[in-house]
Amino acid sequence: MNAPVKPEPGTAIRAALDDEARALGFAEIAVTRPDAIAAAGARLRQWVGRGRHGDMAWMEGRIDWRASPAALWPEARSVIVLAEPYTPEGDPLAVLGQPDRAGISVYGQGRDYHDVVKKRLKRLGRWLIERAAKENLASEIKVFVDTAPVMEKPLAEAAGLGWQGKHTNLVSRRLGSWFFLGAIFTTLELTPDTPHDDHCGACRRCLDICPTAAFTAPYQLDARRCISYLTIELKGPIPRELRPLIGNRIYGCDDCLAVCPWNKFAVAANAAYAPREGAEAPLLAELAGLDDAAFRARFAGSGVKRTGRGRFLRNVLVAIGNSGGNSGDPRLTGVAEAATTDADPLVRGHAVWALSRLAGVARYRAAMHADPDAFVAEEWRLGLAEVSSRSQSGLPPSSGA
């Protein structure tokens, strides 16, 4: 009688790793090789070469590491990719119909996922090292959550967690679109998983709903037009032609994720990502009144804090400028006017734009004043031309008087 075949150490560890990952709360786990995304690296270089990364200089600065995980850490033999759901309970697009309130992306409403996921990755990594030692295997790990030069989405696709949909985000048949990714690089040889096919088919809901037409083609995104980029990554003024298209989205945009049909399989979010008090549809007038200390206190522990008060209020004032119409709040005209004297020129300039959208010509002229900042001065000039043109055409302001 033949003795049972003892599995290879890496195979035994892999089976236990899956169980441990799920015990720690991860919804999915898959493994790939560091050299599995060569094609993604080439696409990244082409994308950056076309300038579609905007002013995200960090994309270009470490492009060699992003393009090749093996270059980032040559000793790595396996990449473990894990998924963490943050599925919303309600309709994340409902706030778009409330012009006096702010739309904050679902992932920005709870605790900062960088902190939550990294802690869990470190626990899993420590477990992996201890388990490998029991098999007399030496091992090292490195953990990554979005802030390092790692292309998590292509790695997750190569590992079989899902596929990059036409909106360039990862889609899973088991999780839909609402999940974060984390990665553990390890020197262990682990059994890799097999990627599966793209299942987007003929669907183009994510492309058609984009407010700013940021998708140049299926699977191709121009970040410079993406609302998530404009409200989070862009450091300077938001281009004037894109401001009206942003609506009341002040931190990120969920439109392309929310309409994905695969979300019917989405699973409940980790409790850590439950919306914080005041994070769901807060009043624009309330947010516009935050000074730096109040901003930091309100968004402590949240990803929103990373934008800083200046960029955050820039976004709030764009939303205020878009709040007009019959359902708008006339009081927001006064909020915009008050912000034209803010200490931050980025805030002042967007406040001027908002005022030009909401005020009549008499009120706008009365509020005008010289500004030492060239950007703000130009906003006053352009705003006056637009308000005057609207008045001459007999068109009322969007809101206020």
* Side chain identity at residue 280, one-letter code: E
DSSP 43-72: HHHHHHHTTTTTT-HHHHHTHHHHH-HHHH
Backbone angles phi, psi at 132, to 5 degrees: -65, -40
* Side chain identity at residue 316, one-letter code: V
Strands (E), 57-100: 78-85
Q: H or E element: which one contains 175?
A: none
- Helix then strand count (H, E) for the chain reads 18, 10
Give the separation between CA 279 and CA 268, rounded to whole angstroms. Answer: 19
Give the separation between CA 281 and CA 106, rounded to whole angstroms. Answer: 11
Give the separation between CA 233 and CA 55, rounded to whole angstroms. Answer: 8
Give the separation between CA 76 and CA 243, rounded to whole angstroms. Answer: 44
H/E/C letters for each residue in 127-163? Answer: HHHHHHHHCCCCCCEEEECCCCCCCHHHHHHHHCCCE
Tokens 């300077």 belong to residue: 236
Catalytic residues: 146
Closest CA to 144 of 190, 86, 76: 76
Pair of tokens at residue 92: 């994340």
HSE-up of 14 (CA within 13 Å, CB side)?
18
Closest CA to 86 of 120, 109, 115: 109
Largest CA distance in the chain: 98
Pair of tokens at residue 323: 């709040």
Give the separation between CA 100 and CA 248, rounded to whole angstroms. Answer: 8
Tokens 């409403």 belong to residue: 109
Backbone angles phi, psi at 221, to 5 degrees: -115, 135
Cα→Cα distances 282→52, 104, 249, 276, 285, Å: 32, 9, 11, 11, 9
What is the CA 339 to chain-centroid distance, rounded? 27
